[in-house]
Chains A and B, each alone.
Chain A
Amino acid sequence: MRSRESWAGLVALLGLGLPATPLAAQATRAVVGYVYAATDSSGLAGVHINAVGEPVQTESDQQGRFILADLPRAEIRLAFQRIGLVADTVTVRAGQNTIVVYLQLTAVALEAVRTEEAPIARQRFEMIAQTSTITLDPSDIENAPSLAEPDPIRAVQLLPGTVTRNDYTVGLNVRGGDTDQNLIQLDGIPLFNPSHLGGMFSTFDNTAVGHVDFLAGGYPARYGGRLSSVLDVQLRNGDGNRTRLHGMVSFLSAKALLEGPIAKTGITYMVGARRTYADAALSLFDPTILPYYFADAIAKIATPLPGSGSLSVTGYWGRDFLDLEWIEDEPGRSGVDLQLDWGNKAVGLNWLQPLGPMRLDTYLSASNFTTGLGLEPDIERLDNWATVLSARTDLAISPGRTHDVTFGLGVEGYKMDFEQGSAALETTSLRLEYRPVVYSAFLEDQWRMFRWLILRPGLRVSHVRSGVDTTLLSPRVGAKVFFTRDLAVTGSVGRFYQPIHSIRDQAVPITMFEYWIGADSVTPIGRSDHVVIGLERWFGQGLSVSVEGYAKSFQNLAIQNDADDPKIKGDEFLPAKGYATGLDVLIRKYGGAFSGWIAYGYMQTERELEDGTKFAPVHDRRHTLDIVVETRGPLGSTMGVRFGYGSPLPYTGIVGQWLHREYNAELHAFDWFEDEVLSSTRNGERFPFYSRLDVLFRWEFEALGGLWRPFFQVVNVFNRTNVWVYSFRYDQSPPTRSGLSQLPIFPTFGVEFVF
């Protein structure tokens, strides 16, 4: 049974505040510190720290940070221990309030890495009344087979509650929500669309990722602006001990990441870049094949500040290039190229500053997403630009041993523009702009009411200025009831608002263009209510089972209006509402001979237009199963296996064709035609079920002064034909159907290295 001091310490582990109580402040002190691995200065999580001879203990968080409160002011000794690490004891002088400790790894480092995750999830279970939360660390991500390289979002797609529509998208449909309803943050910077063109690759480089928190619903008041989920990606800091170079070369891409300290300033840096090069490889054979590639870069600088504070700046740049020659150049005349532009730019600053018993956490960021489609030069072009400038500050305090209160203020200014036209013809078909500003404040409390009951009440208030000023109240309440030390029931209810929408038609099988709009006098603010109730059971430290049921309502959704009139503002979308209900099951094993998880989700969701038309959205999948296992493989490898199953997804059936004729005004005649399909009920048909087996083998050895990690993986081992899209022909007898499949059997290989 942990003491209340240790509960407070564990709260600090999750960065919620300092444990020292005001009454104890005069006679005691708090010590804030970091525990790092001696080999690479990476933060060590889950290290147990106790004050020798004192009833004070805690554990380090993902960054290796810890706080011990209520320590005597005299000199003390702190003991550090964790499986996989050489235990150590250090002295903290009287008057010393900060400390940094480096621990050596033991020979069973792999075991330590595998058990690293369990303490975090276990401690969250013990401390937090929060449903639907899963954390992934880089090893979880890299050991889940993926397309070409480890991808955080593709790993999240294997968790319960998510539906992946096809192999080519990293879009997240979470518990019936649409892909624009997820708050995706990179070090606190919101990203509009964290994917590259087509949706096959995400913007996140796993080498730089520290951890990923995924909240699938019922999330607390500190998060706002989206209806369905939160994906919080935190980059790690650069190695503070020495300079390192990470690299990876694979079948499709190459990347490098350099990190290290800046002299002895305590400042660390990390800078990485990535590029696909299938275009370059294939161009050796035919320069017209696949004129597409993407490149992205990431950078982070972090510095400690006095008083155990820290300041970090994170930047991201990504750009996709597709330049297809449509009409050749001729002498004296330029040709025409089909160009697709797609890019993300983001920069953010995070200042974390303990202030005695409080902690101030401040974020400033700018995030931009652009997408464009055009026939160049100047023939026709569509562009969508979306930018958000945001600032927020959270203040965490602990006004008692049983409360952890966080109060926050924030502001987000959006700037979204859409333009379609032809510079050559000097016409503008459509021009829209949206400028919503959202002011927000929240208050939440993690209240350990009784030993067996944790409450988490919260309230988020948002004021949206967008032509029509609107004030929105979002109550959020969570509760956890412990029946035993290892068994608890958790529930949460909450209301969520979203002032921006993407009205891209999500039924289109590949993402070529986005279309972000914002709330204004004619565009509504989306709303969703969540009710989540779940049960979680732990079997020791290494096995957990959770079952969660949920019900969500959706109001004021925006669905693309095919008949929008460019001269009418506000008809770009059709208002819709909907609901989603389901059940998610997660069985997760940490460490041991094998680790991984079994994720099952049952879900039903529906949308309804204002005219009463009801339809299933394209992600309405009844059953989803993902089994991810990591274990020892042949030839000394680490093997990752993933089996996925998905019950049929909906699509709109095609029941005929017609000749859409083209009219000639001069001749008063129909002089041409185009074939067009005729459809039946929207999303009234179902594709066949989906299944896929992937295998990954990874080795590790040292050579030439570095660490080498070659890998080989096969996606879709059984080469199952999973349908992607259908095409129909009704202009022949009998009518026929063909189509395109998702990924066939696809082997990839590569090697990572660290120097």
Chain B
Amino acid sequence: MSRGHSRWMLILLAVAACDLSEVEVPIGEPVVVVQGVMRPDLPDQFGGRQFVVVERSFSGVVGRAFNPETGESRFHEADSITIPYGGYPSTPIEDATVWVQNLDAPSDSCGDPVVFVSNPPTVQVFKKPGIYWGPPGCPVMRTGDVLALRVETVDGEVVTGTTRVPGMNGAILIVAGDTVSFDVPGTTTFNRDRDTVRVRVDGEAARMLQVEVRRDGDLTDFGTKIYADTTAVTIPGNVINSFVIGDEDDVFRAGRGYVFTVALTDSNYFDFARSENNEYTGRGFINRLSGGIGIFGSLVSTTTRLRAVGEMNDPREGLYRLQGVFDEEMFVGEEPVSVDLMWELYIARTSDTTEFSAFVEGRWMWGEIESSADGLFQSNEFTAIISDTVGTRVRADTLRGTWQAGEPWQILVFDQCEGPTGVSRCADGRPIIFRGTMVQQ
């Protein structure tokens, strides 16, 4: 059964039946879980190091609500945070011996085999139990090479697997009649209301195409993943992300930039991504590891950027110019900063048409920016958050004000205190006063 269908079955089951009372059952059988995807195409990420996650399955000995650092049974979000960007397995297997070997280049400079450790001599990676890191640039991975994995726990459990490294010769994007190569840096603009984004990829030793769409400037947005057993895929601009139900279920919204990634995967990854164990039959997942469960696969990818615009049918949509000045009290000893931002604003296709997104470009509080903003209309008030990426951190700057059709919007306050990251310029918790107007051009 392909992934996702069992949850549809659960809906029908729940309609038809009654619940059984919950009873305690014996402790289950723990299994070694290994998940690792080798990347020959990221020489600079994590200092050029590959990683493998080694953890134990849940058997009822301890629950997920267990903090291995404190030994306390309280819920923590280790599993929910991206690994290895702060997340880590809540049931890690420590002190395992993890090897990866290139069977087609056994005598390369990396050694034979390449040993992965959980505490490598570097500050460039996130170190936590259960995450095992290889040395920089190792193992050597060429298109078509076969890599072998071996994990051995201190209890003598052994998990093995192999993967054949795919290669990507090129990828093109076809949108609005234009063909753009992923190799060419830049941003492609398309109209999400009428255009279709087509991707064609040329590769070797590859089995599946994975397409990822993520909101540019927001690393917390997991975006959309599309899997296709082909080398080409078409994504209508107005397609809905049907497997994620929430406020933003359009894959593309006008007024937003997107990071668009296409990846070619090996066959192990293909099986890993498309299968899952059915909750009731216990079967379905295609496991290509021996002695454990999980994935040892490989993948190559390339990325470009998209800029989604749309049809402007709502009178609130259009080009705006935001001008204003910050409260002098904020800039003691400094020159007050004036702001001059151009907005290209679009209303989101929601039932209440209260949400909007906009491209923003110009002089902002911290200097010149080219970013986007999301906002919300509530009666005659509005709120807008400008997302700004500074290095690898995302800063969210909040504006509030009032608006009236045909009149300049009055910006009443700028409040950086509520931003999730970034430098707070708030003095004793007071919002920063900003007086400005937004005038439709």
B280 and A676 contact, CB distance less than 8 A: no
B228 and A330 contact, CB distance less than 8 A: no
- Decide if B378 is an interface residue (CB 8 Å cutoff): no
In the complex, the chain A residue whose C-beta lies closest to that of B297 is A663
- Decide if A701 is an interface residue (CB 8 Å cutoff): no
In the complex, the chain A residue whose C-beta lies closest to that of B35 is A661
CA distance A738 to B278 in the complex (A): 16
Shortest B201–chain A CB gap in Å is: 12
Shortest B198–chain A CB gap in Å is: 8
Shortest B223–chain A CB gap in Å is: 8
**Which of B13, B16, B62, B82 is within 8 Å of A670, CB to CB?**
B82
- Inside 8 A of B234's CB, which chain A residues have their CB? 424-427
- Decide if B127 is an interface residue (CB 8 Å cutoff): no
Residues of A within 8 A of B (CB-CB), count: 86
- Decide if B301 is an interface residue (CB 8 Å cutoff): yes
CA distance A274 to B35 in the complex (A): 53
- Inside 8 A of A738's CB, which chain B residues have their CB? 19-23
CA distance A669 to B276 in the complex (A): 20
Given A333-B240, A656-B30, A663-B37, A671:B82 Cβ within 8 A? yes
CA distance A602 to B238 in the complex (A): 58
Given A326-B242, A338-B8, A670-B35, A734:B233 Cβ within 8 A? no
> Which one of B61, B242, B299 has the greatest number of beta carbons of chain A within 10 Å?
B242
A739 and B20 contact, CB distance less than 8 A: yes
Given A739-B20, A740-B20, A655:B349 Cβ within 8 A? no
**Which of A380, A510, A659 is within 8 Å of B33, CB to CB?**
A659
- Decide if B63 is an interface residue (CB 8 Å cutoff): yes
A318-361 interface bits toward B, Cβ cutoff 8 Å, 1 = contact, 0 = none: 00000010111111110110100000000000000000000000
- Decide if B427 is an interface residue (CB 8 Å cutoff): no
A728 and B286 contact, CB distance less than 8 A: no
B63 and A732 contact, CB distance less than 8 A: yes
In the complex, the chain B residue whose C-beta lies closest to that of A663 is B37
CA distance A653 to B30 in the complex (A): 14
In the complex, the chain B residue whose C-beta lies closest to that of A673 is B79
B277-292 interface bits toward A, Cβ cutoff 8 Å, 1 = contact, 0 = none: 1111111111000000
- Decide if B195 is an interface residue (CB 8 Å cutoff): no
- Inside 8 A of A509's CB, which chain B residues have their CB? 9, 13, 280
- Inside 8 A of A333's CB, which chain B residues have their CB? 238, 240, 250, 349
Shortest B83–chain A CB gap in Å is: 4
- Decide if A487 is an interface residue (CB 8 Å cutoff): no
Given A505-B1, A658-B31, A740-B20, A731:B63 Cβ within 8 A? yes
B-facing residues in A377-435 (Cβ within 8 Å): 379-380, 424-427, 429
CA distance A512 to B13 in the complex (A): 11
- Inside 8 A of A451's CB, which chain B residues have their CB? none
In the complex, the chain B residue whose C-beta lies closest to that of A430 is B229
A501-523 interface bits toward B, Cβ cutoff 8 Å, 1 = contact, 0 = none: 00001011110100000000000
A744 and B349 contact, CB distance less than 8 A: no
CA distance A700 to B6 in the complex (A): 46
- Decide if B377 is an interface residue (CB 8 Å cutoff): no
Shortest A578–chain B CB gap in Å is: 18
- Inside 8 A of A332's CB, which chain B residues have their CB? 193, 313, 349
CA distance A733 to B27 in the complex (A): 9
A661-695 interface bits toward B, Cβ cutoff 8 Å, 1 = contact, 0 = none: 11111111111111011111010000000000000
Given A508-B9, A665-B212, A331:B351 Cβ within 8 A? yes
- Inside 8 A of B273's CB, which chain A residues have their CB? 663
**Which of B53, B222, B277 is within 8 Å of A671, CB to CB?**
B222
A379 and B5 contact, CB distance less than 8 A: no
B65 and A427 contact, CB distance less than 8 A: no
A674 and B25 contact, CB distance less than 8 A: no
- Inside 8 A of B214's CB, which chain A residues have their CB? 666
- Inside 8 A of B79's CB, which chain A residues have their CB? 659, 673
Given A655-B59, A656-B57, A678-B29, A512:B12 Cβ within 8 A? yes
CA distance A505 to B13 in the complex (A): 16
CA distance A567 to B1 in the complex (A): 16
A664 and B1 contact, CB distance less than 8 A: no
- Decide if B109 is an interface residue (CB 8 Å cutoff): no
Given A333-B250, A733-B73, A198:B12 Cβ within 8 A? yes
A656 and B58 contact, CB distance less than 8 A: yes
B158-174 interface bits toward A, Cβ cutoff 8 Å, 1 = contact, 0 = none: 00000000000000000
In the complex, the chain A residue whose C-beta lies closest to that of B20 is A739
- Decide if B17 is an interface residue (CB 8 Å cutoff): yes
A560-602 interface bits toward B, Cβ cutoff 8 Å, 1 = contact, 0 = none: 0011001100000000000000000000000000000000000
Question: Which of B38-46, B148-156, B359-367, B382-390 lies at the interface?
Answer: B38-46
- Decide if B293 is an interface residue (CB 8 Å cutoff): yes
A663 and B269 contact, CB distance less than 8 A: yes
CA distance A390 to B252 in the complex (A): 51
- Inside 8 A of B29's CB, which chain A residues have their CB? 655-656, 678, 680
A677 and B279 contact, CB distance less than 8 A: yes
A678 and B57 contact, CB distance less than 8 A: yes
**Which of A424, A662, A729 is within 8 Å of B239, CB to CB?**
A424
CA distance A507 to B229 in the complex (A): 27
CA distance A723 to B79 in the complex (A): 33
In the complex, the chain A residue whose C-beta lies closest to that of B278 is A508
- Decide if A470 is an interface residue (CB 8 Å cutoff): no
CA distance A204 to B60 in the complex (A): 47
In the complex, the chain B residue whose C-beta lies closest to that of A328 is B351
CA distance A667 to B259 in the complex (A): 11
In the complex, the chain A residue whose C-beta lies closest to that of B15 is A290
- Decide if B11 is an interface residue (CB 8 Å cutoff): yes
Shortest B8–chain A CB gap in Å is: 6
B-facing residues in A163-179 (Cβ within 8 Å): 168
CA distance A563 to B1 in the complex (A): 9
In the complex, the chain A residue whose C-beta lies closest to that of B81 is A671
CA distance A547 to B65 in the complex (A): 58
CA distance A670 to B238 in the complex (A): 27
Shortest A695–chain B CB gap in Å is: 20
- Decide if A38 is an interface residue (CB 8 Å cutoff): no
- Inside 8 A of A326's CB, which chain B residues have their CB? 242, 245
Shortest A536–chain B CB gap in Å is: 40
CA distance A510 to B11 in the complex (A): 11
B8 and A512 contact, CB distance less than 8 A: yes
- Decide if A110 is an interface residue (CB 8 Å cutoff): no
- Decide if A724 is an interface residue (CB 8 Å cutoff): yes
CA distance A662 to B240 in the complex (A): 20
A563 and B286 contact, CB distance less than 8 A: yes
- Decide if B412 is an interface residue (CB 8 Å cutoff): no
B83 and A670 contact, CB distance less than 8 A: yes
**Which of B24, B73, B279 is within 8 Å of A736, CB to CB?**
B24
- Inside 8 A of A127's CB, which chain B residues have their CB? none
Shortest B277–chain A CB gap in Å is: 5
- Decide if A741 is an interface residue (CB 8 Å cutoff): yes
New A-B pairs, 15, CB < 8 Å, besides A661-B53, A662-B225: A324-B11, A427-B229, A429-B228, A507-B280, A510-B13, A658-B31, A660-B285, A661-B83, A663-B269, A665-B210, A665-B299, A669-B85, A679-B277, A724-B13, A730-B58
Q: Enumerate 18 A-B pairs (CB-CB under 8 Å) in ascending A order.
A: A200-B16, A332-B313, A425-B235, A427-B234, A429-B228, A562-B283, A566-B229, A655-B59, A658-B293, A659-B55, A665-B263, A678-B31, A725-B280, A730-B57, A731-B64, A733-B66, A740-B14, A740-B20
The residues of B with any CB-CB pair to A shorter than 8 Å are: 1, 3, 5, 8-9, 11-31, 33, 35, 37, 39, 42, 45-46, 53, 55, 57-66, 73, 79, 82-85, 87, 89, 193, 210, 212, 214, 219, 222, 225-226, 228-230, 232-236, 238-240, 242, 245, 249-250, 259, 261, 263, 269, 271, 273, 275-286, 293-295, 299, 301, 303, 313, 349-351, 353
Minimum-distance CB pairs A-B, first 9: A679-B282, A735-B60, A740-B17, A732-B63, A665-B263, A426-B234, A652-B282, A655-B28, A656-B28
The residues of A with any CB-CB pair to B shorter than 8 Å are: 168, 198, 200, 290, 324, 326-333, 335-336, 338, 373, 375, 379-380, 424-427, 429, 505, 507-510, 512, 562-563, 566-567, 652-674, 676-680, 682, 721, 723-742, 744
